[in-house]
Structure 1
């Protein structure tokens, strides 16, 4: 077994109609040192039949089936049996570019401190467009996720944090996972290469999140990673004082509107819109 084997983990639940396209994108990789584990997460469709066809086509494809447990559970199941040093999660309805693995592994070989490599992306399906992802920063990661699920990382990082959190039952499990592996340091590299293709569907999981589900997920992440949030943004009392000072200065006309907006965005989201 190569020391740079990549295990591509493809959970599948009611996505059999897209599976061929997904697996074809793996087969076309210019980097040949990979295995692909297709995880049937108790899917009621013909996932097994589609998967078996690919197993016959190339021995690097593997197939396992488990009881339905959700996306985090399915990814963990596949990663647990993976033999690769590196992991690439890939949802069954998405695709990757042919050079994605090759370019990602090249970064890890060159920059040993790197924890995570991802690339530029495009949307396809119900919407076709370049996916303009905000630039990564650890500050911004606490407020929103700018890294899609299909980033390459070492299996050892997954082991350190205990895998994907199965308590993220409504989604956003990728965001929580990135916080978990990155909050104590480590490099992140975005390739200057469009190598991920994200399928847009009219009934995607994120679009269907209800207000109470989002509230649960946000509160869960905030409590689980309270150490990260305090380290990055300060205590609740410190944040509240900054916010109260901001409101006071605005009400007294001490700072201009653009400066006020910049102060608010910088304090609470780590970004600025206007130059000083």
Structure 2
């Protein structure tokens, strides 16, 4: 039986850590692989890093800055592999992840996504170990249940709309893409090992879009209207859970000592301000 080829896609924009991602891809023990790096309009410093590792890269795509989804889709279009592994340019995998992931795919055709446990870390060191839930489409309706850097089949990407190129404004393009992969069946498998290292940065996309999380969720629901209609009861239950959680957080903030002290101090100042208007 012929061994299936793996294409590892690294999209990069102004990232000094890209060298770690390139070496992570290069050091994967799975033998039949190609590394495709998409330089999404990076600055000269990042281009210099990429250039210094070009002997480790099989295909280098250079484009103007168009966002991560466009970069990923363009990388996958050039891929010749049966399997696709997306790798963000500031993260890295353990060397044996690809081999273990492909073994899972080859033994179970119902698997659409392979992910794993992740060590989350920042400049100070380890934060925690995160375990995605995995599972079928029901596990993905209200939250992403796989890491953004995961493996899937190229054919499944071809049958979908790919990574949505309008959603990066809101973030969570990984989540929406996984919904596409799973809405007609199959499931995401979680390898029960810490094989991925996820870097937390203050200026990351995830950090920047926290304040518009309801907008991005609304976007996904409206795009997959029939899917959520078919799961209407679960949708309503989740919606009210979100409302209750927000009310709880709001009330907890109102009860904080700092808030009460601040209210005492600011109330007379606000009165004086109104008086002199």
Structure-1-length-normalised TM-score: 0.79
RMSD, matched Cα: 2.2
Judging changes above 3 Å, is the alpha-carbon distance between structure 1 residues 113 and 4 closer, same or farther for their aligned structure 2 residues?
A: same
Q: Secondary structure at the match of 1:144?
A: coil
The residue number in structure 2 matching 1:68 is 65
Compare CA radii of gyration and give the structure with the larger one: 2
1:11 matched to 2:11:
yes
Question: What stretches of structure 2 of length at least 5 have no aligned partner?
Answer: 245-277
Judging changes above 3 Å, is the alpha-carbon distance between structure 1 residues 134 and 64 closer, same or farther for their aligned structure 2 residues?
A: closer
Q: Secondary structure at the match of 2:149?
A: coil
1:176 matched to 2:176:
yes
Q: How does 1:112-123 map to 2 (within 5 A)?
A: 112-123=109-120
Judging changes above 3 Å, is the alpha-carbon distance between structure 1 residues 95 and 134 closer, same or farther for their aligned structure 2 residues?
A: closer
**1:3–1:85 Cα contact (<8 Å) kept:** no
Where does structure 1 differ by over 6 angstroms across 4 or more consecutive aligned residues? Answer: none
**1:52–1:63 Cα contact (<8 Å) kept:** no
The residue number in structure 2 matching 1:106 is 103
Q: How does 1:78-227 map to 2 (within 5 A)?
A: 78-126=75-123, 128-137=126-135, 138-168=137-167, 169-209=169-209, 211=211, 213-227=212-226
Q: Which whole-Å deviations, capped at 9, do the CAs of 1:152-202 have from their partners, x for residues lacking one?
A: 100111111121001112210001011111111113211122111000112
Equivalenced residue count is: 236
The residue number in structure 2 matching 1:268 is none
1:77 matched to 2:74:
yes
The residue number in structure 2 matching 1:252 is none
How big is the shift at 1:147? 0.9
How big is the shift at 1:235? 9.0
Partners of 1:227 and 1:131 lie apart in 2 by: 35
Q: Secondary structure at the match of 2:44?
A: coil
Question: What stretches of structure 1 of length at least 5 have no aligned partner?
Answer: 248-276
How big is the shift at 1:102? 0.4
Answer 1 or 2: which has greater helix percent: 2
Structure-2-length-normalised TM-score: 0.79
**1:94–1:198 Cα contact (<8 Å) kept:** yes
**1:117–1:189 Cα contact (<8 Å) kept:** yes
Partners of 2:43 and 2:141 lie apart in 1 by: 36
How big is the shift at 1:214? 2.8
